[in-house]
Amino acid sequence: MRSLALALIVLSVAGAGCGDSTPTEPTPQGASAFTETFTGTLKASGTAFYSFGAIGGNVAITFASLTNTMTGAVVGATPRIGLGIPAGTGCGLSTSLTSAAALSAQIVTTLAPGIYCVSITDTGGVTADSDFAIRITQGSLALLSTTSPETFNSNLSVNGSSTRTFTVAGGTGTGLATVRLDSVSPSTVIGFGIGLWRFDTGTCSLTQVINSSGGAQFSLPIDQGTYCVRVFDTGTLTNPVAFAANLIHP
């Protein structure tokens, strides 16, 4: 639908420009807020960039996940995240910073309509190929928050995992999300993580992980969007276990 809307807008604007000696660049107008996710693999000392069209207005860039490609373990590196305009064979940065993965935007700015890029560059903390996820959000999303607090109780099988998604409404600014692994029965260490939910792949790109048999919790700033809590066997289970977790978010 959005493609069609864009097409109609462009046809209208460009068509109106016929015969005009100084036509201006077609600009999508009235486009809705949306997100897109830049994913890929960052090599040691490597860099990658992604181009996107800005509709004009607020843009939030969130470096949300960095995990070892082979093991899936969260990588605690602080690559350089940048925003700029595609230039040459890269992204000509106008702003950049180093940051660990988080669920609140590291870069928030206002952009005029046009083509921009985000980039990620290893600053030395990446020692092996690592998968990353960077969310680009334009505008205020018309999201409704899911129930909070919310319990997440289920069973975990050997080599298995269990994921619960939750949503934080648009227009709420940055709030605090707290997720807690209350118990594992029988008491066993399992993996417990929080991350960005990927609609394109139906997977959870993890931001932080703790191995715990209960009592562990995360409290971290969080923006509008859809997220996930993932509970998984770290390779130690010999029998299924039951777990109880709790989610509190804006």
Partner 1 sequence: MWHERPAARRLVASGVLAVCVALVSSACDQSTPTNPQTPSNPAMTVESFVGTLPKGGTVFYSFTVPVEGTVSFTLLSLTIGGVPSDLAISIGLGVPSGTTCRTSSTGPVTVGPTPQQANPVVPSVYCVNVVDLGTLTADANFALNINRPR
Tell me which residues touch partner 1 (CB under 8 A): 2-4, 6-7, 10-11, 14-15, 17-26, 28, 32-38, 40, 48-53, 85-89, 114-115, 117, 139, 141-143, 170, 199-200, 225-226
Please report how close the Cβ of residue 213 comes to partner 1 at its closest, in angstroms: 34
Q: What are the residues whose beta carbons fall under 8 Å from the beta carbon of 197, sequence distance 6 or more? A: 165, 204, 205, 225, 226, 227, 228
In the complex with partner 1, the residue whose CB is nearer, 96 or 137, is 137
In the complex with partner 1, the residue whose CB is nearer, 94 or 153, is 94
In the complex with partner 1, the residue whose CB is nearer, 51 or 123, is 51
Please report how close the Cβ of residue 158 comes to partner 1 at its closest, in angstroms: 32
Please spell the DSSP secondary structure of 148-200, one letter per residue. Answer: SSEEEEEEE-TT-EEEEEEEE-TTS-SEEEEEEEEEEES---EEEEEEEEETT
Please spell the DSSP secondary structure of 26-54, one letter per residue. Answer: ----SPPPEEEEEEEEEPTT-EEEEEEEE
Please report how close the Cβ of residue 211 comes to partner 1 at its closest, in angstroms: 30
In the complex with partner 1, the residue whose CB is nearer, 10 or 158, is 10
Please report how close the Cβ of residue 170 comes to partner 1 at its closest, in angstroms: 7
Please report how close the Cβ of residue 248 comes to partner 1 at its closest, in angstroms: 22
β-strand partners of 157: none
Q: Are 90 and 155 in contact (CB under 8 A)?
A: no
In the complex with partner 1, the residue whose CB is nearer, 118 or 231, is 118
